[in-house]
Amino acid sequence: MLQEMKEIGSHAIDIYDYLVAGVDPRVKDYPLMQSPIPMTIILLCYLFFVLYLGPRIMANRKPFHLKETMIVYNFLLVGLSIYIVYEFMMSGWVTTYTWRCDAIDVSDSPQAMRMVQVAWLFWFSKIIELMDTLFFVLRKKSGQITFLHIFHHSFMPWTWWWGVGYAPGGMGSFHAMVNSSVHVIMYFYYGLSAAGPRFQKFLWWKKYMTAIQLTQFVLVSLHATQYYFMDRCDYQFPIIIHLVWIYGTFFFILFSNFWVQAYVKGKRLPKQGVQPCQNGKAAIYANGKHHENGVKHGMANGTSNGSAHLENGSAPMGKMKKA
C-alpha cells in the first residue's frame, strides 16, 4: 500500500513537471507565472476568506460602506479594461489576425511579445477582480456570494493561468478581448451605481447589461464553433477552443434562464418599500439597494452598490437556486 502511494505520488510529480515544462518560456518571467502553485494558493486563500473566515469576522460587526473605495476600484478597472482591449486589438486582432483560424505567434517579435504581455495582463486582471467578492463580504452582502459567482471568480483565473502559460494569443484569445470589452461597460455601470442614488437616472440601461452578456457568449461560442467546420486549422492548442466553446455555451444557457426569470416571468419584482416617483416610476431604497419600474436594481449584470453581481457568469443566483 505504501509503495503504491509512493508510485502515485511519483507519477503526480512527473505529470506536474511535464505540465510546467510546457509553459511558454516567454511568460515565465512575468509575476506568478513561474509555477501554478502561487496562483493556486491565492485562489485557495480567496475561497477560505469568502466562505469561512470573512463571514465569521463580519458576523458581529457592522458592514463597511466603502463607497469611495468602490468608486475608485470600479473606474480603475474601466481604465484597465480599455487598455487590455486596445492591446489585444493592436497585437493582432485588427492588425494581422483573420478572425478565423489564427495560430499563436511563438516568435520574439515585438508584436508577438505585445500579445504575450496583454494575455498575462488579462489573466492578472482576474486576480484583481477577486476584490469583487471581498467587497461583498466586508459589506455583508452575503446574498450576492452565490455558487456561480464564486465558481466563476475562482475557476476562470485558474484555467486562464494555463491558457496564458501555453497559448498566449491566437484564436483562443478572442474571448479574452470580448470579455474585456464587456468589462469596460460593466465596471462603468458599477462605478456609477456605487456613487449613490443621485446617479440612478444615468443607469436607465441597466436591463441591457444582461443582453450585453448574452451577446458576449454568443460571439465567443460562434467564433469557437468555426474551428469544428474548418478543413484545416493550425491553431496549436485545440483544447483551448473546446473549453472556450463549453464555457460560452454554459453561461449563455444560465444567463438566458436568468433573463426569462427576471424579465419575462417577472419573478424578481420587489416586495416592499415602494415609493412613488415621477413618470410613474417606483424607486425602492432598501438596505442600500435601488429599484426602478418594479425591477430590482442590478438585475442586469448587478452593481457594486449592493445589487446583484452578474459579471461574466457571476449571476445573482441567490433566490434563483443558483441556476
- DSSP secondary structure, 72-108, as one string: HHHHHHHHHHHHHHHHHIIIIITTT--SSS-----S-
What pLDDT is attached to residue 86?
98
What pLDDT was estimated at residue 16? 86
φ, ψ for residue 309 (rounded to 5)? Answer: -100, 120
The C-alpha R_g of the chain, in whole angstroms, comes to 21
Q: What is the rounded CA–CA span in Å between residue 151 and residue 201?
A: 33
Residue numbers of the chain with a pLDDT score lower than 70: 262, 267-323
pLDDT of residue 9: 83
The burial class, CB within 10 Å (0-12 / 13-18 / 19+), for 60 is exposed
Per-residue confidence (pLDDT) for residue 202, from 0 to 100: 83
Query: Which pLDDT score is estimated for 319?
Result: 39
CA 267, CA 5: separation in Å to the nearest integer?
52
| Per-residue pLDDT, 316 | 40
Quote the pLDDT of residue 175: 95
Residue 125: the pLDDT is 97
- Confidence at residue 146, expressed as pLDDT on a 0 to 100 scale: 82
Which residues are known catalytic residues? Answer: 152
**φ/ψ of residue 277, rounded to 5:** -130, -175
pLDDT number for residue 321: 38
**Of the candidates 226, 221, 215, the residue with the CA atom closest to the CA atom of residue 248:** 221
Label residue 212 exposed, middle or buried (CB < 10 Å: 0-12, 13-18, 19+). Answer: middle
Give the Cα separation of 46 and 52 in Å (integer). Answer: 10
Q: Using alpha carbons only, what angle is made at residue 182 by residues 235 and 160, rounded to the nearest 5 degrees?
A: 45
- Whether the full predicted model's pTM is greater than 0.85, yes or no, is no
Q: What is the pLDDT of residue 317?
A: 37
pLDDT of residue 267: 59
Q: Where are the domains of the chain?
A: 22-296
Which three three-digit cell numbers place residue 242? 473546446
Predicted local confidence at residue 10, as pLDDT: 84
Q: How far apart are CA 247 and CA 164, in angstroms?
A: 17
Give per-residue pLDDT as tens, 38-85: 999 999 999 999 999 999 999 999 999 899 999 999 999 999 999 999
